[in-house]
Amino acid sequence: MKRKPEQKKPWAGRFRQNTDPKVEAFTSSLAVDCRLYRQDIAGSIAHCRTLQQAGVLTRREAEKLIAGLHRVEREISEGRLRFTPAHEDIHMAIEARLTELVGAVGGKLHTGRSRNDQVALDLRLYLREEVTSLLAGLRRFQESLVELARRESSVVMPGYTHLQRAQPVLLAHHLLAYVEMAERDRGRLRDALRRINVMPLGSGALAGTNYPLDREFTARLLGFPAVSQNSLDAVSDRDFVVETLAALALVMTHASRFAEELVLWSSQEFGFVELSDAFCTGSSMMPQKKNPDVPELIRAKTGRVYGHLVALLTVLKGLPLSYNRDLQEDKSPIFDAVDTVRDVLGMLASLVPGLSVRRATMARAATEGFLLATELADYLALKGVPFRQAHAVVGRIVRDRLDRGKDLTGLTLDDLRKFSPAFEKDALDVLSVEGALERKAQIGGTARKRVEARLKVLQKALRAEK
């Protein structure tokens, strides 16, 4: 069998020695960037059409190249194209196979472009698709929370500060707090998408190109609303990757906070919810255990996404203009972060509907202890007592009840008047959970009518978007 001739590097004319195999292995990014093959081929097809429009390629040459590129795409998607170590990256692998298929005209594909603007384009095309997908994933998570809040709209629970019971709130109000977080996450991703959606092709290696390429024509072919305005910046800009990573880090922050509450709430110490068996695991030793592994892993994976953000910021911080090979290290962080966040959002959207809420346990926790102490302080303030003084009065009441081993239930008007003559007959009326809820009727408060109104707005908005 004849040995296949060694493929020449495109820069082989400059070098007297072949690249050391160890260097080829060390510098290759193919194992990572091979997932960009669809974007790379889409960009190459648009580039072909632009070269044809500029008269650099004939119509026949362009059609031959485009047909060859479609064939390469099919071979890769069907797993029939075998990459070799000699291919540094997905761009070289595709071009090499294309040239095998179409002959010498394959060498014309790279006219007027560099791998520098090519990879910048591929990454923007990739992120445009993925961010759009992540926006949909966030919406599905929001929908699951809204549906659970609607289902459990009557449930009261303790609200917390410092992980100490503070004031009664509706469970629905608590759940909708995460819907608001996710909405901000979606806003940040949409904002990042505007800066992702800028077309860099035609910037060349760093200075532009000598060919009369209509970059706006290329942008229209690829669906970009804007074209980069500085070639040096275009080939070296990875701000859009950092911005996406920062937005994803915040998505994970919120996911981790929710996961932490699921871990706490499903413990015997809280007993507020039970996770579906399908999202838990058991112990290899202790038969009684039901472990919240999915929320725990979400917490852990959050640090992984944070690390990717810091890694890329560190890569970029000392780079002179314009392109540097350091930028090859931009893909692993964003690819893994996107994959991680996609998986986490999918898990959460599937896990939330199966949560069993222990309504009685939550309600009992909202009535025990001193969650209504603030109601007494506000009562005194409304009677004209300065709030700081009212705060101190109620603090003494709490201390007295603690010393007696009691809470606020069972208080009489005489008990209250021992601490302040400002208490009147209606003072005991404020010591009810329902009253405490309904008095929080301002915009954003936990009153039932406010929460129900917000639920309706969110349901309508999510349905309209879907």
User: What string of DSSP letters covers 53-94?
Assistant: HTTSS-HHHHHHHHHHHHHHHHHHHTT-PPP-TT--SHHHHH
**CATH domain 116-211+224-364 topology:** Fumarase C; Chain A, domain 2 (1.20.200)
Task: List Cβ neighbours of 451 (8 Å cut-off, separation of 6 or more).
Answer: 149, 153, 170, 172, 173, 176
H-helix or E-strand spanning residue 381: helix 373-382
Q: Tokens 């991680």 map to which residue?
A: 340
Percentages (nearest 5) of helix, strand, coil residues in the chain: 65, 5, 30
Q: Kindly list the domain boundaries of the chain, sorted by start residue.
A: 17-111, 116-211+224-364, 370-465
Dihedral of alpha carbons 255, 256, 258, 263, sign: positive
Beta-strand ranges (E) seen in 134-235 are: 156-161, 164-170, 198-199, 226-227
Q: CA-CA-CA-CA torsion for 202, 35, 242, 131, nearest 10 degrees?
A: 100
Query: For position 433, what pLDDT does the model report?
Result: 97
220: alpha, beta or left, given left = phi > 0 and alpha = psi -120 to 50? alpha
Q: Write out the two tokens for 426.
A: 């209606």
* Beta-carbon count within 10 A of 321 CB: 11
* C-alpha 393, offset from chain centre: 47
Q: 393-426: buried (b, 16+ CB within 10 Å) or exposed (e) per residue? A: bbeebbeebeeeeebbeebeeebbeebbebbeee
What whole-number distance in Å separates Cα of residue 337 and Cα of residue 189? 14
Q: Write out the two tokens for 225.
A: 């609303």
| CATH 3.40.50.300 fits domain 17-111 | no
201: alpha, beta or left, given left = phi > 0 and alpha = psi -120 to 50? beta
Q: Write out the two tokens for 67.
A: 């047909």
Q: Quick one: which of 440, 444, 439, 441 has its CA closest to 429?
A: 439
Half-sphere exposure of 364 (CA within 13 A, CB side): 7
How are beta strands 273-274 and 226-227 bridged, if at all? unpaired
Q: Quick one: which of 465, 466, 390, 462 has its CA closest to 142?
A: 462
Task: List Cβ neighbours of 442 (8 Å cut-off, separation of 6 or more).
Answer: 450
Considering the four listed CATH numbers 3.40.50.300, 1.10.40.30, 3.30.70.120, 1.10.10.10, the one that applies to the domain covering 370-465 is: 1.10.40.30
* Beta-carbon count within 10 A of 106 CB: 20
* Per-chain mean pLDDT for the chain: 95
Catalytic residues: 162, 283
Q: Tokens 């609200």 map to which residue?
A: 159
How are beta strands 156-161 and 273-274 bridged, if at all? unpaired
From residue 54, how far is each of 49, 176, 378, 442 by CA, in Å? 9, 55, 76, 63
Dihedral of alpha carbons 226, 232, 235, 237, sign: negative
Q: Tokens 């964003």 map to which residue?
A: 334
- Contact criterion met (CB below 8 Å) for 72 and 94: yes
pLDDT tens-digit profile, the chain (466 residues): 333 444 556 666 777 788 788 888 888 999 999 999 999 999 999 999 999 999 999 999 999 999 999 999 999 999 999 988 778 899 999 999 999 999 999 999 999 999 999 999 999 999 999 999 999 999 999 999 999 999 999 999 999 999 999 999 999 999 999 999 999 999 999 999 999 999 999 999 999 999 999 999 999 999 999 999 999 999 999 999 999 999 999 999 999 999 999 999 999 999 999 999 999 999 899 988 999 999 999 999 999 999 999 999 999 999 999 999 999 999 999 999 999 999 999 999 999 999 999 999 999 999 998 999 999 999 999 999 999 999 999 999 999 999 999 999 889 999 999 999 999 999 999 999 999 999 999 999 999 999 999 999 999 999 998 7
- Contact criterion met (CB below 8 Å) for 37 and 81: no
Residue 163 identity: L
What whole-number distance in Å separates Cα of residue 28 and Cα of residue 44? 21
What whole-number distance in Å separates Cα of residue 127 and Cα of residue 125? 6
* C-alpha 376, offset from chain centre: 42
Length of the chain: 466
What whole-number distance in Å separates Cα of residue 55 and Cα of residue 52? 5
